[in-house]
Amino acid sequence: MVGILSFIKSFENTIAGDFASMGSNTFSLQRYSFDLQFSGQRDRVHPVISYRDIKQFEDTYHFPTSRVGVSFTGTAAAEVKFENLATDPEVQIMGVNENFIINSGLELTDGREFNQFDISNNNNVCVIGSDIVKSLFPNDNPIGKTISVRGAKFTIIGVLKAKGSTFGNNQDLRVLIPIQAARSIFSRPNINYNISVMIDNAEMLDAAQEEAIIVFRNIRGLNPIEENNFGMVRSDDLINRIASITGYLEAAAWIISIITILGSSIALMNIMLVSVTERTREIGVRKSLGAKRKTIANQFIIETVIIGQLGGLVGIFFGVVGVYLLATAINFEYSIHWAAMIAAVIISFVVAVIAGSYPAAKAAKLDPIESLRYE
């Protein structure tokens, strides 16, 4: 129970943390609707968000205190080189504008972010992930160094703070370059772009979303009766949906745990019944020496409680350690489900009392004469 519920808690915190980094006052426009992505239905595929779409949106959308970030993934299998060193061919190259980093909730540990001058002049500069620093600059400061991406040279101006990986997607193995430079390197057809919008005043978020929908519908040329052919996602909506999904998982885990506990209580009762049978002569001796029924019953109740509590502690230990090892292996944020641990202690005590009551009562009712003749 502790292991299952702690793993679910770690899963929830990891995913929620990734989305929460966007900020509660951020939303994005994308090709697929959220429901389509998570239900697996791809029968309604929206048109790609083209470069023309994002440029028109940047030129048209002027909501107060808003910042528009645009990006696209050029490749997720690039090799980055520095002098005679090279990374494995698994680096993600992204073309971004000056607002992408802050809109995505990313932080820098060294250097600076892109500015409008870098993007508008298509400067050959880049911001790199922390794992690239480990591969190419293990003992050196990467700021100001020049790396090569598919033959193009970029000067490093910043290093992203480590974020780890989620479901095998390493967020520290990426290079961010100006969007126009990325378009010149990755010129495949039907590139899909992403748009993110951050509003400084969270109270104006709903109004900002409504205006963004109107602007993008006009860009797409939709008439008033047509449905949106694009998706809109808010980070807090994602967190709420993830919480509801993990809520169902947690409920299922509790049900499985209750069934398991029911089986363990029956097993514990059988163990104590066998113990009563095996110690019949001992019970007879104690009764012949003056032990009362209550004394005999308490003896078996206490033994059962001790067994139950030891079992609960051992279970908690293996549950906590097991989840820690699993979370470390798959780069999840390790979390302990404290409610499950408290419940485990309480339940193990209650189960022990219930499971030991019948064997204790049976032991207390044994006839001392018959017990002494046993065996």
Kindly give the parts of the chain with pLDDT less than 50.
36-43
pTM of the model: 0.63
3-state secondary structure at position 337: coil
User: Which of 162, 226, 175, 207 has its CA nearest to residue 73?
Assistant: 175
pLDDT value at residue 371: 55
Instruction: Give the pLDDT of residue 233.
Output: 80
What was the pLDDT predicted at 361?
Answer: 73
Cβ atoms of residues 185 and 154 within 8 Å: no
Taking alpha carbons only, the member of 258, 256, 263, 269 closest to residue 352 is 269
pLDDT at 241: 63
Domain definitions of the chain by residue range: 47-229, 240-373
**Per-residue pLDDT at 37:** 45
Return the structure tokens found at 69: 């970030």
Q: In which element (H, E) is residue 207 found? A: helix 205-220
Nearest to 69 by CA among 165, 239, 161, 195: 195
For residue 112, what pLDDT is reported?
A: 93
